[in-house]
Structure 1
Amino acid sequence: MNERASNRCLLYADVAGGVRLAVKFGEAEAGYAVERCMNRMSRCAEAYSGSDLDLRPEVLVAGFPDADSALLAAREMRERVRALPPMSGIKLVLRAAVVLESEGDGERSVAEKLAARLVEASNPDSITVSDRLGRILSPAMRRMLGKGDEAAPVPPAPAVEPAEAPQAQPAAPVEPRPEPAPPQKQMRVSFRGQSWIIDAAHPTLLFGRETGNDIVVSDPRVSRQHARIELRNGAFYLADSSTNGTYVLEEGSPEHCVKRDEMTLAEKGHIGCGFSVADNMSDAVAFALD
């Protein structure tokens, strides 16, 4: 088996929440909500070279040529599901797992069962990868996993016999002193007279050529789901998922091209989707920390 074939991956994505919707609104309304969700997920799979799509009630299975493409597709699916508004407080959530197809010894059904078990053991709104797949991830994907809530399964820690703690004298009660709340970080993004705010309440902004993005840039050099800005751990990241790359021009720095990778954004600058900001400032996306 050549290296390219051995690195093919299988993505198993499950949508939870449909049963609760059916109980409250009926099967037809719940089915419509889940169908909208599945349509968004299938478009994400196709955008990242997904093939052999298998759509079932509340489950999507697809093959991908490499681990990075599968994980980028899973992240995009999760963002699209997150963006769906809740129905009377009930919100659909995504659980996904990515494994190597070779972990099934040539049988797709075996690899799928492994991915399904990982999904079943995971938390809602999470993405999990198998141990073998985690070892071949690119450095960019490793950083992405480390900064988000997606984590490769790790072996359980060895059991430790609990030691008997010495009896301590009760401490005198101390009046807790409230800590000042940290300042709210937010970034303002502008494009053709419109503005968006990225903050803790709205931590992700999507842009690309497809109409489902927050910012739609109509240019043949722009991919359907081109890139996104995310607020994670107090910093703003630009993550590219495009064909032609994303150009970032920050004040006082040379222009930088990000392609299938991510970078931390500074205080102020402009973004070109598939084109140099210097060549086409009028179609660039502006950003600035508020």
Structure 2
Amino acid sequence: MPTQAEEFTVLFADLCQSRRIYLALGDEKGHQLVSRCLSVLTTTATHHQGELIKTIGDEILCLFPSPDMAVAAAMEMHQAMATLPIDHLDETNRPGIHIGLHSDIVIRRDGDVFGDPVNIAARLTTMAKNGQILTSERTLRKLCPEYQAKTRFIDNIRLKGQHDKVPVYEVIWEEHDLTVMCNRPVDALHSGPCLKIFHGEHSLDVDRSRTTISLGRHASNDIHVPGILASRIHARIELRKGKFILIDQSTNGTHVLTRDGRSHFVHRDEFILTQDGCLGIGHQVTPEAPHTIAFILASAA
């Protein structure tokens, strides 16, 4: 079979707690449950136009035509595992999964896939915890606005064979972050640094309870900025390790005017917001200009 090079989204889904399943149920029943879990994952992938390439122990490797399809499948996989009927097994031993996915050119040969995308997706899977979906910035940029809005920055990591560190993002598949809600008192979610954003009659906060917002021309953005100079998904603002980071991913860039009167131009790069100011989405900015976005650094109440 000839070698083919095409762009796909590579997804690994690895079953957690399989050893505990075998200890709790025994070899025969444990194997039956593990097989049923892998069957559910494969069926879910197929439902979203994914192709099962191979099963590796308690892990499956799939290819998807697009990142959106892969993310939709990953979310449904987690939901399916969370609601899977289990007999003779308490909730503490319920099987779960951790998922990594990455989009790029892959090499297909003899029914298998090769290349850096496979290695990166595998590395993300090993980083992911039970219940997590991790992906790369390259993949995030290709996602639809709805899915981009469900991501949050995790960390920069160094991958084998790559000189620069790679940003890693988590795709949130639940409506709220259960780990944060369980481990922190409610008041703690609204304490710490806060960036207040003002656009026309609308305002919102970036803080520990909402760590990322999107800005752009598409109506699905948190801050909707009309006009031909704004890209569909123009920029994001993230709370990352106590700092507010403006991340431009647009065609025309983002202009920043800070309180000290200095102007900054950010184009497909990151900029730390260290003082109050305003943003121009694709155009020069003044406090009085139409569609100017103002921001104020404050401590959340």
Q: 1:208 touches 1:216 (CA, 8 Å); kept in 2?
A: yes
Matched, 1:121 2:126: yes
Q: 1:98 touches 1:115 (CA, 8 Å); kept in 2?
A: no
Counterpart of 1:275?
283
Matched, 1:95 2:103: no
Structure 1 pair 117/246, CA: closer, same or farther in 2 (3 Å)? same
Letter in 2 for 1:127: T
Structure 1 pair 106/210, CA: closer, same or farther in 2 (3 Å)? farther
Q: 1:225 touches 1:242 (CA, 8 Å); kept in 2?
A: yes
- 1:14, CA displacement in angstroms? 6.4
Counterpart of 2:177?
none
- 1:193, CA displacement in angstroms? 0.8
Q: 2:14 touches 2:125 (CA, 8 Å); kept in 1?
A: no
Q: 1:11 touches 1:115 (CA, 8 Å); kept in 2?
A: no
Q: TM-score, normalised by structure 1?
A: 0.51
Distance in 2 between the 1:252 and 1:219 partners? 28
| 1:7-156 equivalence runs, <5 A | 11-12=9-10, 54-55=65-66, 59=70, 95-97=100-102, 101=105, 104=107, 109-111=113-115, 113-123=118-128, 124-127=132-135, 148-153=154-159
Q: 1:257 aligns with which of 257, 262, 265?
A: 265
- 1:95, CA displacement in angstroms? 3.1
Letter in 2 for 1:189: I
Structure 1 pair 14/213, CA: closer, same or farther in 2 (3 Å)? farther
Distance in 1 between the 2:136 and 2:250 partners? 23
Counterpart of 2:180?
none
Residue-by-residue CA offset, 1:30-56 (whole Å, 9 max, x unaligned): x8xx97xx9xxxxxxxxxxxxxx7049
Residue-by-residue CA offset, 1:104-160 (whole Å, 9 max, x unaligned): 59999322543443344230243369xxxxxxxxxxxxxxxxx842423359xxxxx
Letter in 2 for 1:117: A
Q: 1:127 touches 1:151 (CA, 8 Å); kept in 2?
A: no
- 1:187, CA displacement in angstroms? 0.9
Residue-by-residue CA offset, 1:203-261 (whole Å, 9 max, x unaligned): 11111011111011111110000001111111111110000000000111321110000
Q: 1:15 touches 1:58 (CA, 8 Å); kept in 2?
A: no
Counterpart of 2:220?
212
Structure 1 pair 121/289, CA: closer, same or farther in 2 (3 Å)? same
Q: 1:118 touches 1:128 (CA, 8 Å); kept in 2?
A: no
- 1:96, CA displacement in angstroms? 2.7
Structure 1 pair 106/288, CA: closer, same or farther in 2 (3 Å)? farther
Bigger fraction of residues in strand: 2
SS in 1 for 2:261: coil
Distance in 2 between the 1:251 and 1:284 partners? 14
- 1:93, CA displacement in angstroms? 8.7
Q: 1:184 aligns with which of 167, 179, 192?
A: 192
- 1:184, CA displacement in angstroms? 1.1
SS in 1 for 2:219: coil
Structure 1's unaligned 5+ residue stretches are 1-7, 18-26, 39-52, 61-76, 130-146, 156-180
- 1:277, CA displacement in angstroms? 0.7
Q: TM-score, normalised by structure 2?
A: 0.49
Q: How many correspondences in the alignment?
A: 186
Q: 2:278 touches 2:286 (CA, 8 Å); kept in 1?
A: no
